[in-house]
Chain A
């Protein structure tokens, strides 16, 4: 079995024009981050010559195992750390500039929020950092809390009392408080149950539908596959592959034919027909659903009688 070979842009250093940078949501060129020890010697090469362009309105996935440089890339794009080499631009401006943060939403890999505030206070605080008027916040905060599935009780509870899933939800809400154009999600489904995971994916798709750009960073490949237009895979700080998800996962030399309502004799006829073509022994199986689909179907049936599923139930 062979998979499609994507047009990997590793090592492609052709400088982008100013208009290309301005029109892209994320642009990096030879972006590198090297952590040094006390004596200034290279200790860890966390990111190595990443050259990447993410278009506006795209859902882009950064994949890779732990320590592959995914979070480092996001930190560099947000100005939390500074590049050792290379260039990074976000929404046409240099990465880390405060004015561009007005249009960015960021969900860190864990919800690093003030534990002594409650849900509403947290969103009001972050809203004020965007200078959103109090009157506007009074409308926007409850709507956002509804969107991420935090009910009335949860809103008044201190964040230290939140479960991991609830913390992810409030983290997502703070990332969306400014109605951003670009959303960076670092491991967004970590700690979420399958319903939460599905809701997160639905939300990402709805953000895409609104024309927003999403950079998704995850090692849960199924999640990425469901929502991303394009992905890149990083390994040991280097980009290994880049391309459309459907192209990358497509197995080019195997053909799958699907049909419903076939009898065993009809199946045998088809098998015989393929054998006569001389292309090898065909395999006939029944397709399986995903565990996520199975779980969702069960929950849907159980909640069909009424009521809603919110995070305070977790």
Chain B
């Protein structure tokens, strides 16, 4: 049972064995041992559910008689008022925003109530000496601590129940009203634009409250053409529009720490087989046009390089590629200017050619900074065709990396194998251009337009009859080449390519609008066998459409919204139990105002450190020294070491603090997505791994506390 539980967690998202969980196991075991030694061996055999329940009853009754539940109508009024001021894109968005308000209000209310009740209870009972009459009964301190936690968990459950019933009723009322209005609009043809008619019909038929379970794609790739299943080489567009990224991992001990040491180190050698062919002219006409919106989420600097001048005719330019290095999240850490002396690498038009490039040794310390003591440096080598008018083809396994063999200009002394994120993912990731909301796909004429491909593998298709609904929330950007087209609808084609029998479904035409979810029905027959690709093509030249792994939903099943709400409330309840445990722990040795502050700090500590992100990576000390322009060597050393130590301490502390991201439920339920079972397991895991040691610690502290002031 326990093994199954751990295995399930290991398979679930959000569980990363290298992410401090090992430390938490150790902390939990140490807390248990300390508790056993300091009295648990004596008190556990005496543990009585009757006494614990009696203590919890009193805590529950106190909260109820102090009219804690009266705060729920306030929250309900707040939700209704705020709902009136929302500006939704459409009816579904209105429901989603209302769902978000309701859950946010519920979460805030229940968490704050839990913190205040649990932090104040024990200090006040000690202060007014009611505790005298409890501890002088045969009640163990373990029963008192557990009774308090259970009592406040019951109060939280009551609040969640009231807010849950309100949320369910209010959303159903709004949904029902809106659905009726949509049906009337459709029946009267009242201002229904052709582009949104399918969406409105979808709302009218399927309702606005949903809990959909989606098929999960293996990956998302962008190609200049739809790849055939037997294509070893896949093609990307030039003009830096698309690129090929291959993930690698190098242990930190294989990388030099400082630039001086790096000079003596063999360089990283990159070798790849590439094919180049000319794109038909129609494909290139908009390729270099600049979109009206800013494309990048981070300043990904695309250098001005010879051969990239947009004014030069395509034929006059030599095909070339540029190489850069991204971190695990695809942020640039080594720019093309730092590689090959800042020049693009020329390649020849034609079939496979081997390119070997030694990367400068100066980048090795930069790569080392990506590593942690328990984690190798993970990065992506990114290759993109720099010159428009060409397509660049690379086999998925056609890129190799290793430390250069000084005796062989083409060989490796230590080869480094690629490290795909998932076992079934492609080694090479074919990426679109980074945009504000994701990766962008350029629109072009139907025969030459590039494609975005979502790969689905080994999916369980229950029936090959009928249709499978697909949802897509895409962001639209126009290049502004032809203003007259601005009013036109953007044409997006979606088709299913079955990789089992290599058949293609008839493309379905959609008209996406910026930031709005659109719907289509795809033939289930085309997905038979469970191995298929969803291929999107924008056939409106000048339009760019943004895709991410999460903005597509291929509906596997439509489940009960009420049950989904119940699951989200259950996860919220687990969060409040954790909150109560932390609060009770803090209140065993602190006055209640300080206990409130410490509870909030413990609760948000891990999240806060995660938010600091790159600011705590190794090398921050040196960066601070540079930012403050400390000239003195001794001072800069002290400052650098202090900052590094502080960063390490913060990371160490955060690794044993609870990860409250595991309790995030709003996003899924707001998007109408079925909350997966592992979300509950993950929340439960955090609760057990953190709440249990904390409760045992609270017991030990309270057991040896003199309760008579």
Contacts and interface: CB of A to CB of B under 8 A. Distances in A.
A215 to B, nearest CB: 13
A98 B708 contact: no
A125 B53 CA distance: 10
Contact of B706 (A80, A126, A131): A80
Interface stretch (A12-20, A99-107, A145-153, A302-310): A99-107
A220 interface: no
Best-buried of B51, B62, B136, B707 by chain A (most CB within 10 Å): B136
A116 B65 CA distance: 7
Contact of B708 (A75, A130, A174): A75
A254 interface: no
Contacts of A110: 129
B108 interface: no
Contacts of B297: none
Interface string B65-90: 11000000000000000000000000
A101 B62 contact: no
Given A98-B139, A99-B46, A128 B51 contact: yes
Nearest to B46: A98
A195 interface: no
Interface in A162-178: 174, 178
A125 B57 contact: yes
B133 A174 contact: yes
Contacts of A174: 133
**What does DSSP make chain B's interface, helix, strand, loop or mixed?**
helix
Contacts of A80: 132, 135-136, 706-708
B305 to A, nearest CB: 69
A110 B133 CA distance: 11
Interface string B499-510: 000000000000
A110 B58 CA distance: 20
Contact of A102 (B138, B704, B707): B138
Contact of B51 (A81, A99, A104, A129): A129
Interface string B118-143: 00000000001111111111111000
B133 A116 contact: no
Given A98-B43, A128-B50, A78 B136 contact: yes
B133 A108 contact: yes
B162 to A, nearest CB: 21
A121 B58 CA distance: 10
B133 A126 contact: yes
Nearest to A82: B706
A104 B62 contact: no
A112 B135 CA distance: 12
A80 B43 CA distance: 17
Contacts of B135: 78-80
B652 to A, nearest CB: 30
A117 interface: yes
Contacts of B133: 106, 108, 112-113, 126, 174
B61 interface: yes
Contact of A126 (B53, B66, B137): B137
**What does DSSP make chain A's interface, helix, strand, loop or mixed?**
loop
B54 interface: yes
Contacts, number: 80
Contact of B138 (A98, A113, A125): A98
B48 A131 contact: yes
Nearest to B129: A112
Contact of A129 (B54, B128, B706): B54
Interface residues of B, number: 31
Contacts of B129: 108, 110, 112
A128 B54 contact: yes
A114 interface: yes
Contacts of B131: 112
Interface string B467-479: 0000000000000
Contacts of B58: 114, 117, 125
B132 A101 contact: no
A127 B54 CA distance: 9
A271 to B, nearest CB: 57
A82 B705 CA distance: 9
Nearest to B144: A129
Contacts of A106: 132-133, 136
Interface residues of A, number: 28
Contacts of A131: 48, 50-51, 138
B687 to A, nearest CB: 27
Contact of A130 (B53, B62, B66, B138): B138
A98 B140 contact: yes
A129 B138 contact: yes
Contact of B136 (A82, A104, A113, A114): A104
A113 B130 contact: yes
A9 to B, nearest CB: 26
Contacts of A101: 136-139
B43 to A, nearest CB: 7
Interface in A113-142: 113-114, 116-117, 121, 125-126, 128-131
Contact of A125 (B43, B54, B65, B707): B54
A112 B129 CA distance: 6
Interface string B138-158: 111000000000000000000
A126 B51 CA distance: 9
A301 to B, nearest CB: 38
A108 B61 CA distance: 23
A11 B336 CA distance: 89
Nearest to B130: A112
Best-buried of B43, B51, B131, B708 by chain A (most CB within 10 Å): B708
Interface string A76-98: 00111110000000000000001
B62 to A, nearest CB: 6
B137 A112 contact: no
Nearest to B128: A112
Interface string A38-67: 000000000000000000000000000000
Contacts of B139: 98, 101, 129
A129 B132 contact: no
A75 B707 CA distance: 10
A98 B45 CA distance: 12
A125 B704 CA distance: 25
A124 to B, nearest CB: 9
Nearest to A102: B138
Contacts of B128: 112
Interface in B25-71: 43, 46, 48, 50-51, 53-55, 57-58, 61-62, 65-66
A99 B47 CA distance: 11
A127 to B, nearest CB: 9
Contacts of A75: 708
A116 B61 CA distance: 8
A133 B137 CA distance: 16
A79 B708 CA distance: 9
A274 B271 CA distance: 132
Contacts of A79: 135-136
A136 B133 CA distance: 21
Interface in B84-131: 128-131
B132 A112 contact: yes
A121 B53 CA distance: 14
A164 B138 CA distance: 27
Contacts of A113: 130, 133
Contacts of A116: 61-62, 65-66
Contacts of A108: 129, 132-133
Contacts of B130: 112-114
A101 B376 CA distance: 58
A117 B706 contact: no
Contacts of A98: 43, 46, 138-140
12 contacts: A80-B132, A80-B706, A98-B46, A101-B136, A110-B129, A112-B131, A116-B65, A125-B57, A128-B51, A128-B53, A128-B57, A129-B134
Given A80-B706, A81-B706, 7 more contacts: A80-B708, A98-B139, A101-B137, A112-B131, A128-B54, A129-B51, A129-B137
Pairs A-B, 4 closest by C-beta atoms: A128-B54, A112-B129, A80-B708, A129-B137
